[in-house]
Every structure is written in structure tokens, then in C-alpha cells.
Amino acid sequence: MIVAKRKPLNEIAEMLAPYKKVTVIGCRSCVAICLAGGEKEVKMLVSALKVKNKKEGKKQEFEGFVVERQCEKEWIKEVEDKVLGSDVTLSMACSLGAQTIGDMYPIHLTFPGLNTGIFGVPEEQGVWSEKCVGCGNCIIHTTGGICPISRCAKSMLNGPCGGSANRKCEVNLEIDCAWAAIYDRLKIQNRLDLIENVTPAKDWSTSHSGGRRTYVREDARLTPHQKKGKEAVQ
């Protein structure tokens, strides 16, 4: 899922310093699960900022709450009054949420409280590691289920680089060499022959390198007739 991290509090405080009335909006989805922007984190952030203001003799008004999924306009619409009633909104969701609010109310100021992040797998409670960079063309069926684009520092497609040693990556010794892992995996699957296939150079146009991507399901789109009369979302 999307994993984000809260920005350092002093950075957030600086962002919000010029404003009097602040709404802090979190999200119950990905950022709650990765412990960055759920209701608890929102409440703690508001409290910490109030303590800071107490120290500096400043006065700001804070209101903090969460919505179910901040990237969906319907849920933002439900809290529109609170957003527009403030001088600035601090989004404690991933940047998708922050931008959804921003796009809905372009004159209103919406600032990001988190740094997004990675597509992360919870390796254990509290540890999320990146295993996908959204290249848009998944080939892990040929690599034993291990993604070389995200897990190899050089995104190699045909085996380890010359720097791989003791199953570790030469770029960062704390990273396991993805291709060593792929080799081990294909071995226990009895598919080592796959390693001998030469994968041609990757067509990166499906990844972000090709520019901002939009995924569409034509059959799911509402026709103009369907959209009419549904004022909530345009």
C-alpha cells in the first residue's frame, strides 16, 4: 500500500506559522495503516503544535479529524465547511489526498503534512519496504516473483551486476542483491532456465518516465446522461 511519513514537526509548524485557523485532515486508509496520518497521528500533531505555541506564546486554532479516503471527492465534500472555514488546511493524507482537496478548492490553501512515499510491504510491524515502483509492466512471473526494477538498485533486467557480492548490493550493503534472491527463488521453483533468457531493454513508456499516467476503465465511466443529476461530483 502507499506508505508515507510525517514531515518533521518543525517544518510543519513553519508552514502553518502565518495562519490563524488551521484544519488538520487525516485519512483512515493507507496513511492510518502505516501510522502516519490516522486519527491518532492527527490528534498528536495538533496537540504537539499547541504545546509549541504555548511555548512561544502564539495563538492558533486547530481542528483535527479524519475522512475515510481523502482522495475521493465525496468524502472531502462532506467536510467542505470545515475546510473552507479555515485559513489553511494541513493534509495528513498522502499527497493524493492533499491534492484532491487542493484541486477541489483551488483558492484555499492546502499543505502537505506527510512526505509520500513508497509502495511498501509491511515486512513486520513498523517496517515497510519498497517492492514496487509502478513501472506499469510487471514481469515478476519471469523472476520468480521478485521485482528487479524496485529491489535492484540499478533495476537490472538480466542478472546481477559485477558489484554484487555475498548476496549484497554494492550500492548499499544493507540491501540484499535482488538477483541473488531471484536466483535462489527460481532455483527452488525449478525454473532456473528462465535466468538464461535475455530480457530486452525495458520499454519505460509505461512507467512515470513516460510522463504522468492515467488509467481508464471505459466500461466503468459514467455517461453524460448518468452523470447528470448527480451534483456531488463533476
Partner 1 sequence: MAERRPKVIGFCCEKHGMDAAVLSARSGKQLDASVRIVQVPCTGRVDGIHLLKAFEDGADAVFVLGCLEKNCYYDTGSIEGRKRVGYVKQMLTEVGIEKERLEMFNSASSNAWAFPDAVSKMVDIAKKLGPIGGGERQ
Partner 2 sequence: MKAKVQVVLCRCCTEMPALLNMERLQKLAAESNNVVSVMTVDAACDGKNLAPAINEAKEKEIDRAVVFACHKKDISPAIVKAYRRAGVNEFLVEFVNMREEVVLPHMSEPERAQAKAETKMKAALIRSIMLAPLERQTEEMKTRNVVIIGAGVAGQAAAHEASKAGVHTILLEKTGKSLKAPGIIMTNAQLVGASGYGGNLQLKIKAGEKIENLGAAAVVIATGGGWTTLKGPLAKSVKDAVPLYKFYEQMQTGSVPKGPIVVVDTPDPAGKTMKVQDYAWDDTLETTIELKKKHPETQIFVIFQEMRAFGLSELAYKEAAELGIKFVRYDKGGAPKVDPKNPGVLMVKDFAQGELLNIRFGTLVFASIPPNEDNKAIAEALRIPMTMDGATRRGSIQRWPVSTPRSGVFVCGSALFPKSRDVAKAEGAAAGAMAGEFVKRGRIEFGGIVALVTQEKCSACLTCIRTCPYEAPFIGTASKVEIRVQACQGCGMCVGICPSKAIELHNYTDDQIAEEARVLLGGDF
State the binding partner of 169 from partner 2, partner 1, none, CB within 5 to 8 A by kind.
none
- Looking at residue 7, the DSSP 8-state letter turns out to be P
Does residue 15 interact with partner 1 by CB under 8 A?
Answer: no
Q: How far is the CB of 49 from partner 1 (least distance, A)?
A: 7
Burial 159-183 (b: 16+ CB within 10 A, else e): bbeeebeeeebeeeeeebbbbbbbb
| Gap between the Cα atoms of 100 and 116, Å rounded | 14
Q: Site map for partner 1, 42-81, x if CB under 8 A?
A: -xx--xxxxxx-xxxx------------------------
Give 113 or 144: the residue with its C-beta nearer to partner 1.
113
Q: Tell which one of 5, 9, 43, 202 touches partner 2 (CB under 8 A).
A: 43
Q: How many residues does the chain have?
A: 234
Q: Site map for partner 2, 58-97, x if CB under 8 A?
A: --------x-------------------------------
- Looking at residue 207, the DSSP 8-state letter turns out to be S
Does residue 13 interact with partner 1 by CB under 8 A?
Answer: yes
CA separation, residue 153 to residues 13, 113, 134, 160, 176 (Å): 35, 28, 15, 10, 10
Local structure of 156: helix, strand or coil: coil
- How many CB atoms lie under 10 A from the CB of residue 146? 20
State the binding partner of 29 from partner 1, partner 2, none, CB within 5 to 8 A by kind.
partner 2
- How many CB atoms lie under 10 A from the CB of residue 136? 15
Give 64 or 112: the residue with its C-beta nearer to partner 2.
64
Q: Site map for partner 2, 3-32, x if CB under 8 A?
A: -------------------------xx--x
User: Which residues contact partner 1 (rule: CB under 8 A)?
Assistant: 8-10, 13, 40, 43-44, 47-52, 54-57
